[in-house]
Chains A and B, each alone.
Chain A
């Protein structure tokens, strides 16, 4: 095949990808092809890409327009069919590789709870590129699946359980799940080059806050199909984008229970409190001092007078918000890494051994009565290739000091644990159809 022909065929094949793929990658791929010396290998590689994206759950929802499908099928079949006979055995090997570790693929990776409705929206590892599931969690130990949809990573549900906000290719997307058996995509908010950090509904469900790398946007979602931008809040970025913040985390932004204060994590480690009592005139009220680590989650106490921040590296700080403009630190817990359990169930006091550890802060929450603070961390020792979630519980005094920690450990199930907000339960799922719950004290 001549270079010119290969180039033309390659460019035609880029146009044969599914619509959502084209919208996102077409221009970039054409730019790459402008610079790339296309060969028969390029054409074959793109034909495989066309076929695999069309069967990918993340892209196959769209109705394929017939002429485009015909063109894609024609080009792909003409090129791929003769080679399929030769490459069939190789392809089968690749397929087997993709399906080699079903147990590790299927764990729960994302969950959005509703404050008041018995609805849960989840995404699983095996469907990270596609399927979300809507569950009836009237009995949390026995979630009942109601429907599924292809919407990215679910992050937060409106308090009434009618709207779920997901992240799809960096875009915040709103889905109507008022009829949980028939979810419908209703709005897409703009992505931001700096990356989405988190999103959260206000307690009255009227505002959606989206935290990006260096700004927080407040949207009026009283008409969710037509979100209206109310306010853009510029957040200080304490380090350049090249140093890379943490990826999207549902806990990177939180409203106080009365909806008057918003806590956000922006940049790599900047924690800011905003007065959002009047969202259209929201303003910054305080920056939380930086312990030199990534903020990985927030929790307001039920009365709103305390804020707990979970940092990477195993630090938990509690602040009194008696005067929100001057958050006063009331408790400092460090060294959770050392106190977290190893797979053999033993604490490992020797810090040196932790050079081979990966530590993840998973969740932080106050109990509904405000008397207990719970933090879940995961500590994986790479040489053992096995992790363990450790649950820490502290009694909390009214002034925000913490008592002695109770430590509960359990085996990590290759699954992200979530703390259900209304009842004291940790939820995890090692696979699509197996749920585990752990009661908290």
Chain B
């Protein structure tokens, strides 16, 4: 596989939040920030948002749609959905192990 998610460095976490936000349909910049804040509590700043969006766009994981005046919506691509599913699976595995081990540690 190529184009690994880890290559995004410090933009990996914001990118995961952006891909999650776009998973159910296209959104423009501010709508992504508002959505991310709503579902994760993370208040993303514009510099981080566009730093991550430009990297996702160049990797072919999101693509820009036609601008509506100054607002340009972005949509997730099939490759973006694939990489998001991969990340989610990894996170699910971590959650599973963490649950198991904390349960064991607490003697549950």
Q: Which residues of A contact B (CB under 8 A)?
A: 10, 21, 24-25, 27-33, 35-36, 41-42, 45-49, 52-53, 58, 94, 97-98, 100-101, 104-105, 107, 109, 125, 128-129, 152-153, 169-170, 193-195, 241-242, 244-248, 268, 294, 356, 358, 360, 378, 380, 382-383, 387, 412, 414-416
User: B residues 53-75 with Cβ under 8 Å of A?
Assistant: 54-55, 57-61, 63-67, 69-72, 75
Contact across chains for A245 and B55 when beta carbons are under 8 A apart:
no
User: Smallest Cβ distance from B6 to chain A, in angstroms?
Assistant: 6
Contact across chains for A36 and B46 when beta carbons are under 8 A apart:
yes
User: Smallest Cβ distance from B62 to chain A, in angstroms?
Assistant: 9
A residues less than 8 Å from B76 (CB atoms):
244
User: B residues 23-79 with Cβ under 8 Å of A?
Assistant: 25-26, 28-30, 33, 45-51, 54-55, 57-61, 63-67, 69-72, 75-79
Instruction: Report the bound CA distance from A259 to B38 in whole Å.
Output: 53
Contact across chains for B70 and A30 when beta carbons are under 8 A apart:
yes
Known contacts A128-B59, A247-B77; A414/B1 CB under 8 A: yes
Contact across chains for B77 and A32 when beta carbons are under 8 A apart:
no
Select one of B1, B4, B77, B89 contacting A245, CB under 8 A. B77
Contact across chains for A97 and B9 when beta carbons are under 8 A apart:
yes
Q: What 8 A-B pairs come out closest when comparing CB atoms?
A: A247-B60, A49-B47, A193-B66, A45-B45, A98-B9, A45-B47, A31-B70, A32-B29
Interface size class of B (residues with CB under 8 A): 35 or more
- Identify which of B4, B50, B79 gathers the most chain A CB atoms within 10 Å of its CB: B50
Known contacts A33-B46, A414-B2; A169/B57 CB under 8 A: yes
Contact across chains for B51 and A52 when beta carbons are under 8 A apart:
yes
Q: List 7 A-B contacts (CB under 8 A).
A: A28-B72, A29-B46, A46-B46, A98-B10, A170-B64, A247-B78, A414-B1
Instruction: Report the bound CA distance from A109 to B70 in whole Å.
Output: 33
Instruction: Report the bound CA distance from A41 to B64 in whole Å.
Output: 27
Instruction: Report the bound CA distance from A368 to B57 in whole Å.
Output: 36
Instruction: Report the bound CA distance from A170 to B65 in whole Å.
Output: 11
Select one of B9, B10, B29 contacting A28, CB under 8 A. B29
Contact across chains for B3 and A244 when beta carbons are under 8 A apart:
no
Which residue of chain B has the shortest Cβ distance to A27 in the bound complex?
Answer: B70
Which residue of chain B has the shortest Cβ distance to A52 in the bound complex?
Answer: B51
Instruction: Report the bound CA distance from A97 to B12 in whole Å.
Output: 10
Contact across chains for A294 and B66 when beta carbons are under 8 A apart:
no
Contact across chains for A248 and B60 when beta carbons are under 8 A apart:
yes
Contact across chains for A358 and B82 when beta carbons are under 8 A apart:
yes
Contact across chains for B6 and A104 when beta carbons are under 8 A apart:
yes
Known contacts A31-B70, A414-B4; A294/B46 CB under 8 A: no
Instruction: Report the bound CA distance from A101 to B4 in whole Å.
Output: 10
Contact across chains for B78 and A25 when beta carbons are under 8 A apart:
no
A residues less than 8 Å from B80 (CB atoms):
244, 247
Instruction: Report the bound CA distance from A58 to B55 in whole Å.
Output: 11
Q: Can you name 4 extra interface pairs (CB under 8 A) apart from A47-B47, A242-B75?
A: A27-B72, A46-B47, A107-B2, A195-B63
Select one of B1, B55, B59, B60 contacting A378, CB under 8 A. B1
Which residue of chain B has the shortest Cβ distance to A106 in the bound complex?
Answer: B7
A residues less than 8 Å from B48 (CB atoms):
45, 49
B residues less than 8 Å from A268 (CB atoms):
78
- Identify which of B26, B46, B63, B70 gathers the most chain A CB atoms within 10 Å of its CB: B46
Instruction: Report the bound CA distance from A32 to B31 in whole Å.
Output: 9
Instruction: Report the bound CA distance from A153 to B46 in whole Å.
Output: 26
Known contacts A28-B71, A169-B57, A356-B89; A412/B46 CB under 8 A: no
Which residue of chain A has the shortest Cβ distance to B90 in the bound complex?
Answer: A382
- Identify which of A29, A36, A360 gathers the most chain B CB atoms within 10 Å of its CB: A36
Instruction: Report the bound CA distance from A436 to B49 in whole Å.
Output: 37
A residues less than 8 Å from B66 (CB atoms):
193
Contact across chains for B64 and A193 when beta carbons are under 8 A apart:
yes
Known contacts A242-B75, A356-B89, A378-B1; A25/B61 CB under 8 A: no
Contact across chains for A412 and B1 when beta carbons are under 8 A apart:
yes
Contact across chains for A195 and B77 when beta carbons are under 8 A apart:
yes
Contact across chains for B78 and A42 when beta carbons are under 8 A apart:
no
User: Smallest Cβ distance from B56 to chain A, in angstroms?
Assistant: 10
A residues less than 8 Å from B90 (CB atoms):
382
B residues less than 8 Å from A245 (CB atoms):
77-78
Contact across chains for B49 and A32 when beta carbons are under 8 A apart:
yes
